[in-house]
């Protein structure tokens, strides 16, 4: 009975099935593919034309799970390497490790020999070199101790994972993500190709069999040498950031000194029904931003709905739902000019249900106008009594945005007969609260006015009942009296995305927001975070007009090219390609607890707001309670936090968020915690604990 070198027995049936291979083709020493009818050499196991496995005659059986000459089929080698030891499906003879040999290009007939992994390496890892016109082409074959490219593609289409110990790193940051391949630099060597595996001289090629490689494409082998699997790539946001100290702004980024107006982002905030939208609409109409024809149309439509007093508000509340309910629901944006500023007006909603929209829009503010309803009972409702009214909450939020300059307009003075006593009472009550929020008296301006009666808006009051006791600023002069905000163009470009407009027909995506630092121009390259996708600025609009350059402080609409529309999201950030923002999932915060009824404990569920982003979060640790005077730790690990306390806490986010430490970037380092429809704490990011 025939035998083999390793002592295994080759059955008679196996010899007969192998002998039939010679009869599978009309050509001696060749077999014909059953799919494409291509005639292949006898020693080939699969078709050289279409790659289909050779159809070995004989009975089929279960796959042999035993060792192949001491090498297990389940060992940590690539799937491609194991497939060469395994028999083709359904018909391969059950012979361990057998394959057809070919010596000096001659067929060995039906003789089967045993093979070990080392034999396979000698056959398939023998380098091949061909010379054409004295040009040497070096083909580096695939090594079977690492997964092949086919394995990588297969792993992306299934949940199969590679065994431990392989020289392979695949990104599994998110379920369903495929492994990512990154091209190496010219002077780098892949880990799966150690230098010892490369031939050093021409003699190593002489003993190899060139026929086994002559049909392999040279490009594939070269690609195998130049590819390396990495755990992260720019797509997975592991982008090496440079220090801001390395950034050097270009000359075009600096603002012109030719008497151009500075931009001022002015937020209009206050309690619901205090007259914010009416004040804004009236101011825009008086400044010529709303034509008389438009104003007549608003008045006619408002009267038809039985809301004649809402005519000026309809200039900003444009949606059907806002007009039917008579409240502002989103932040409306308008523009006007003064003697000193190009003002961007941000009319914020006052209803408590839409405070998240107010936070998202008004976080861009440089200064604010706090509108107070002077009518009896309305001011008291805004202060909230024992609870927190929207006047209090808006004042706390505005201060937390970093706004230091505040104009307090006591509106609807005509309903209290322009009473000086009522104005002084409001100033006394509210002034004390504003001081507790951190506003300085020197930076707070108080103005009594009536928006509907046009008293004290553009000019001083004409009504004697007001002018007899008030001779201060009108609203427009008070805006011009504000100090110019600082614009930092010396830092890399940074724009938190407030809103996104997608035009699916043209494939264009547009991001809106305020440039916090740096500058951009048409053609600039930017990085879209948190996705990490690069993009090119196609167009820039400022104040509804196209411009070539936009700098820090400008509210702009940026059209992007070369990025997928789904990657540009509200709450994301556009930044300099070399200075990406941090993506975090766990933060350390320094917070001030507001007037809350329910204490904050470990495990409390909150909603974290930062610039234009919001994310569900959980308080996982209360590190320390801070002394309100010194700011030092007064108590370690308190059990709970109650109203008006300051503390250091750790929060874990359910998702990812673009954030920076407050010391590095103030705009991306201010946070607000909300729960049960109200703001419970404000603070800053002191440390990023876990980057995504």
Kindly state the average pLDDT of the residues 186-201.
40
Q: What residue spans define the domains of the chain?
A: 262-481, 494-575, 583-689
Which among 617, 627, 589, 619 has a CA at the least distance from the CA of 601? Answer: 619
For the ranges 95-109, 133-147, 553-567, the maximum mean pLDDT occurs at: 553-567
pLDDT class of 199 with cuts at 50, 70, 90 = very low
Q: What is the mean pLDDT of residues 165-185?
A: 39
CATH topology agreement for domains 494-575 and 583-689: yes
Lowest mean pLDDT among 216-220, 247-251, 450-454, 574-578: 216-220
Q: Is the predicted pLDDT of residue 212 greater than 80, yes or no?
A: no
3-state helix, strand, coil in the chain (%, to 5): 25, 30, 45
Q: DSSP assignment, residue 611?
A: T
The class that CATH gives domain 262-481 is: alpha beta
Q: What is the DSSP string of 471-507?
A: -S--HHHHHHTSPPPP-B-SS--EEE--EEEEETTTT
pLDDT at residue 183 in the model: 34
- Averaged pLDDT, 285-292: 93
Superfamily of domain 583-689 in CATH is Translation factors (2.40.30.10)
- The 10s digit of each residue's pLDDT in 349-358 is 988 889 988 9
Mean pLDDT of 79-86: 44
**What residue has token string 């490689």?**
213
Round to whole Å and give the CA distance between 11 and 384: 94
Instruction: For residue 188, count CB atoms less than 10 angstroms from its CB and return exposed for 0-12, middle for 13-18, buried for 19 or more.
Output: exposed
Residue 135 has a pLDDT of: 42
How large a percentage of the chain has pLDDT more than 70? 67
pLDDT at 237 over 70: no
Helix (H, G, I), strand (E, B) or coil at 438: coil
Check residue 186 and give its pLDDT: 38
Q: Which CATH number fits domain 494-575: 3.40.50.720, 3.40.50.261, 2.40.30.10, 3.30.390.50?
A: 2.40.30.10
Please report the pLDDT score of residue 692 as a whole number: 73
In this predicted model, what pLDDT tens digit does every residue of 647-684 receive, in sequence order?
999 999 999 999 999 999 999 999 999 998 889 999 99
- 280: pLDDT strictly greater than 90: yes
Q: Which tens digits make up the pLDDT trace of 393-449? A: 999 999 999 999 999 999 999 999 999 999 999 999 999 999 999 999 999 999 999
Residues 89 and 652: their CA atoms lie apart, in Å, by 51
DSSP state of 134: T
Confidence label for 217 from pLDDT (cuts 50, 70 and 90): very low
């Amino acid at each position: 009975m025939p035998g083999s070198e390793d002592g295994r027995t080759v059955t008679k049936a196996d010899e007969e099935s192998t002998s039939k291979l010679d009869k599978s083709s009309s050509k001696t020493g060749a077999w014909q593919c059953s799919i494409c009818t291509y005639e292949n050499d006898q020693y080939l196991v699969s078709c050289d034309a279409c790659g289909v496995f050779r159809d070995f005659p004989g009975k089929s059986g279960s796959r042999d799970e035993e060792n192949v000459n001491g090498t297990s089929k389940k060992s940590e080698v690539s799937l491609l390497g194991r497939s060469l030891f395994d028999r083709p499906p359904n018909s391969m003879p059950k012979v361990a490790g057998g394959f057809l040999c070919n010596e000096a290009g001659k067929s060995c007939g039906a003789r089967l020999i045993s093979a070990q992994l080392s034999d396979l390496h000698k056959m398939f890892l023998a380098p091949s070199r061909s010379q054409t016109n004295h040009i040497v082409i070096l083909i580096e074959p695939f090594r079977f101790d690492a997964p092949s490219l086919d394995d990588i593609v297969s792993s992306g289409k299934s949940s199969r994972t590679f065994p431990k110990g392989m020289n392979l790193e695949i990104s599994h940051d998110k379920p369903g993500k495929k492994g990512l391949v990154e091209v190496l630099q010219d002077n780098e060597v892949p880990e799966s190709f150690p230098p010892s595996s490369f031939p050093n001289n021409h003699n190593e090629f002489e003993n190899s069999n060139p026929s086994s490689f002559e049909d392999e494409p040279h490009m594939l082998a070269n690609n195998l040498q130049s590819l390396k699997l990495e755990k992260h790539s720019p797509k997975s946001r592991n982008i090496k950031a440079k220090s801001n100290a390395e950034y050097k702004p270009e000359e075009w980024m600096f603002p012109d000194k030719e008497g151009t107006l500075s931009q001022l982002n002015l937020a209009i905030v206050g309690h619901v029904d205090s007259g914010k939208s009416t004040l804004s609409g009236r101011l825009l109409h008086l400044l010529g931003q709303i034509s008389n024809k438009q104003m007549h149309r608003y008045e006619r439509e408002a009267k038809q709905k039985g809301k004649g007093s809402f005519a000026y508000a309809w200039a900003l509340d444009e949606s059907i739902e806002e007009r039917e309910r008579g409240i502002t629901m989103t932040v409306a944006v308008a523009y006007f000019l003064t003697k000193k500023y190009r003002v961007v007006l941000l009319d914020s909603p006052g209803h408590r249900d839409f405070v998240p929209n107010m936070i998202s829009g008004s976080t861009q503010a440089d200064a604010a106008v706090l509108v107070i309803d002077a009518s009896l009972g309305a001011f008291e409702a805004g202060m909230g009594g024992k609870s927190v009214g929207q006047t209090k909450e808006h004042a706390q939020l505005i201060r937390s945005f970093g706004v230091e300059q505040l104009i307090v307009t006591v509106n609807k003075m005509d309903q209290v007969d322009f009473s000086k006593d009522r104005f002084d009472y409001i100033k006394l009550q509210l002034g004390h609260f504003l001081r507790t929020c951190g506003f300085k008296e020197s930076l707070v301006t108080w103005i009594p006015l009536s928006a509907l009666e046009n008293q004290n808006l553009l000019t001083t009051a004409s009504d004697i009942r007001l002018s007899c006791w008030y001779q201060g600023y009108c609203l427009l002069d008070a805006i011009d009296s504000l100090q110019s905000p600082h614009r930092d163009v010396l830092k890399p470009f940074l724009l938190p995305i407030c809103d996104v407009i997608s035009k699916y027909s043209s494939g264009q995506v547009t991001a809106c927001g305020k440039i916090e630092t740096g500058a951009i121009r048409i053609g600039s390259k930017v990085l879209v975070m948190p996705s990490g996708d690069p993009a090119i600025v196609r167009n820039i609009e400022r104040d509804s007009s196209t411009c070539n350059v936009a700098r820090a402080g400008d509210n702009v609409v940026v059209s992007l090219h070369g990025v997928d529309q789904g990657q540009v999201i509200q709450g994301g950030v556009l930044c300099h390609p070399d200075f990406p923002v941090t993506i975090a999932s766990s933060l350390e915060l320094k917070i001030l607890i507001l007037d809350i009824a329910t204490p904050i404990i470990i495990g409390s569920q909150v909603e974290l707001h930062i610039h234009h982003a919001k994310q569900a979060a959980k308080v996982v640790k209360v590190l320390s309670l801070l002394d309100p005077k010194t700011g030092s730790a007064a108590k370690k690990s308190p059990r709970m936090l109650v109203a008006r306390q300051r503390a250091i806490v750790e929060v874990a986010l359910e998702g990812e968020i673009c954030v920076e430490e407050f010391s590095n970037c103030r705009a991306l380092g201010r946070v607000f915690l909300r729960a049960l429809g109200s703001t419970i704490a404000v603070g800053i990011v002191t440390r990023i604990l876990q980057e995504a």
